[in-house]
Chain A
Amino acid sequence: MSGGPAYATVYLTVEQAQALLFPGATFQPDTRTLTDEQAKAIAHASGVPVRNKQIKAWRVSTGGWFIVDEVVGKHEFIPFALALDDKGAVKGIEILEYREAYGGQIRDPEWRKQFLDATAGKKLQLDRNIRNISGATLSCKHLTDGVERLLVTYDLVLKKSS
């Protein structure tokens, strides 16, 4: 999908999210392009299709990875940042922009806390180990799927080069 957004509320820039999730660290860009085989393996292991083969990742000076990705919202994409510690566990999630009429509750810190320490083996799934927010189901589902996909991406691709 392409085309410009009609509306956008920018909460954080990439730099602001980096500073928030890894205070005092420096970042080394390490963008990857997945091979077809890697994309298939990630989709198979996560159960989530890989829509974009380019992984916008940064190595963090204090250890860990910072990844920027986006998931499909009701009408627009939802860009978000994922922080992984040096063992590949979720350290934090930040919503960078939100452009939808409904579903913005996924910015709620309490809801996002559920993801902390999750790793590739946990199999994140809405209504199973991630609580849904009524009225924001689609956003909750897609963000959950997006984090699961990136955890598997770390496990199958990024970890090997750490």
Chain B
Amino acid sequence: MTDRVCAVQLVDVHSWIRKTTIPRSVIAVIFCLGFGLMLPAHADEPLFGFTYTTDLLPKGKFELEQWSTTRFGKYPGGKFWLQENKTEEEYGMKDNLQLSLYQIYDSTSAFHNGPFGETTPPEQFSYYNPGPDDHFSGTKFIGVAGEAIYRLWSPYTRPIGIAFYEEPTFGAGFIENEAKLILQKNFRDDRLVLAANFTYAPEWRRIKDPVTGEVAIGEETDANIDLGVSYRFIRNWSAAFEIYNEREFNSYNFTHQSNSGYFLGPTIHYAGENFFVTVNYSQQMPWASLQVDTVPGGIVGGRIVDNDFEKHRVRVKFGWYF
């Protein structure tokens, strides 16, 4: 039995991607590089996959970014992948204020992937309630988001860089407001960059009861800490290492914690005169522990398999400056 959701139909490409044995992360890289050859190549370039820095676009400059995050690997023996895509247009409103607009669209396939091996759609598709043995797949336009980053201190002229980040996201059945404090410290001619992010992201999400069909509003807050270190080891190239902790609470005030997952992994970044590409691989570490609201069966082998966590993540970012 299949529960299929297709808000955006990309049937031919989607079916080819599902059938092919080429890893989706490789497809994403090929896709991005392909666009890179077609479009004229042109810096708030991301040195990291998940960690933000305080570098912003100069006033009056545009940038187009394409993000692709492949998330896969959950319950042993089950199948799961989630392809998160984001197209972002950025503009330097002032030298210390950058505004952006995102469009977010995801695809997923899940089977026997969740707690106790039951089919569980990822959070972005949590409005749907497939049966425990269903094959679930779908493609969906998730929503649009705005982003503003205001830099208080630049790491080039102050002891540390400090910036504030605000990102409201509006989608079908959910609203999220992500707020972030970004810190950055540079060393060695600004080639060695340390960055830290502290994120508070409450969200309001419509959730349908699988038994009664009643719709309720779910309270959830994501609270994350990201740490990254990057070094520009050769002209145009930087290598980084990131570790981040994602915590979920079924409240807005840090009570009823449900999950806490630790991810770490390497990032490689290339930046030319007119474009950049950043690739990160992260793996969830087996450091999870039971929390007050952890779903029964939600931790397997020390890793969370609940709906917003998985073992592997590959993120590719591609950007063009104008």
Contacts and interface: CB of A to CB of B under 8 A. Distances in A.
Interface of A: 1-7, 49, 51, 71-72, 74-77, 99-102, 126-127, 132, 134-138, 141-142, 145
Contacts, number: 72
B234 A138 contact: no
B156 A138 contact: yes
Nearest to B58: A135
Nearest to B233: A1
Main SS at interface, chain B = loop
> Which A-B residue pairs are the 10 nearest by beta carbons?
A135-B58, A134-B95, A7-B273, A72-B189, A3-B235, A137-B156, A6-B272, A141-B156, A127-B157, A75-B271
Contacts of B43: 74, 100-102
A99 B273 CA distance: 7
A4 B272 CA distance: 12
B154 interface: yes
A77 B235 contact: yes
Interface of B: 42-43, 58-59, 61, 92, 95, 154, 156-157, 188-191, 232-237, 271-274, 321
B150 to A, nearest CB: 14
Contacts of A75: 235-236, 271-273
Given A135-B58, A141-B156, A142-B189, A2 B271 contact: no
B95 to A, nearest CB: 4
B59 A135 contact: yes
Greatest chain A CB density within 10 A among B43, B95, B156, B273 is at: B273
Contact of A137 (B42, B154, B271): B154
Main SS at interface, chain A = loop
B190 A138 contact: yes
Given A3-B236, A72-B191, A101 B321 contact: yes
Contact of A6 (B92, B232, B273, B321): B273
Contacts of B157: 126-127, 132, 137, 141
Nearest to A99: B273
Contacts of A134: 58-59, 95
A134 B157 CA distance: 11
Contacts of A145: 189
Contacts of A141: 156-157, 190
Contacts of A76: 235-236
Contacts of B272: 6-7, 75
Contacts of B237: 3
Contact of A101 (B42, B95, B234): B42
A152 B234 CA distance: 27
Given A2-B234, A7-B273, A75-B236, 20 more contacts: A1-B233, A1-B234, A5-B235, A6-B273, A49-B189, A71-B189, A101-B43, A101-B273, A102-B43, A102-B321, A126-B156, A126-B157, A135-B59, A135-B95, A137-B154, A137-B156, A141-B156, A141-B157, A142-B189, A145-B189
